[in-house]
Amino acid sequence: MTAIRSLDAVQRAYEFLQLERYIEARREWYQLLQGAEPRQQELLAVLASQWGWHDQAIYTLGQLGEFGAIEQRFPLAYADEHRTHSETAGIAPDWAFAVSRRESAFRFDAFSHAGAHGLMQLLPSTARYIGRRDYARHDLQTAGVNIRLGTRYLADLKRRLGDNWVVATAAYNGGIYRVIDWIPQQPMAIDRWVETIPYRETRDYVKNVLAYQQIYLMLENPGQPVNRFRELTDMKISKSLLGL
């Protein structure tokens, strides 16, 4: 690791990060990864994780197939913000961690082609709906603001969808009105319903978030026999069961 830290490109990337010149830092890091051997890339990912540059660590380890590096691939990033705002919103922190991990890999300045910003990838219109005012791009790329609004939006979706967090997860990605159309009239097991979601992106999104929730539940409760999937065993949904 000492040899990696001493590389000129690594030191330049670190200085750019400290100066908040993120474009230059990412450009330097990308060039560095392109010329590195797999073992060097793995060490660079660990170093990025130590710096709190979580998205770089997550993507690099994923590309290398290093799926066992749980600490680096599923960091408790922005832990205070996720826990505090989840508690205030009345939702489970593992859900908030999982959504941020799936949406942006904890990249605070993430920006999508659809116009979504920040850790939890909020559209300005969604932020306005939740916060009752307009938010600038800088606001939505501030971790505390983004997580506060994102957790409140998750709680709002859950409330509007019969207190069902699985269906709310689908709505976070696919939109609440589209998801309501997908809910059956007759009761259906929730795991079967997930498989019937017609949009592959949303179907995969829900599965990813559920898996990440289990990982974060275990990380938040080390040594305890916790199982988020147990809640799904007897869960059924229909329009009437969700009060729709």
Q: Which residues are catalytic?
A: 103
Q: What is the 3-state secondary structure (H, E, C) of the chain?
A: CHHHHCCHHHHHHHHHHHCCCHHHHHHHHHHHHHCCCHHHHHHHHHHHHHCCCHHHHHHHHHHHCCCCCHHHHCCCCCHHHHHHHHHHHCCCHHHHHHHHHHHHCCCCCCECCCCCECCCCECHHHHHHHHCCCCCHHHHCCHHHHHHHHHHHHHHHHHHCCCCHHHHHHHHHHCHHHHHHHCCCCCEEHHHHHHHCCCHHHHHHHHHHHHHHHHHHHHHCCCCCCCHHHHHCCCEECCCCCCC
Q: How many Cα atoms within 13 Å fall on the side-chain side of residue 145?
A: 20
Which phi and psi angles does 53 have, rounded to 5°? -95, 70
Q: Return d(Cα 5, Cα 22) in angstroms, integer.
A: 19
Q: Which residue, 95, 156, 150, 84, is CA-closest to 117?
A: 150
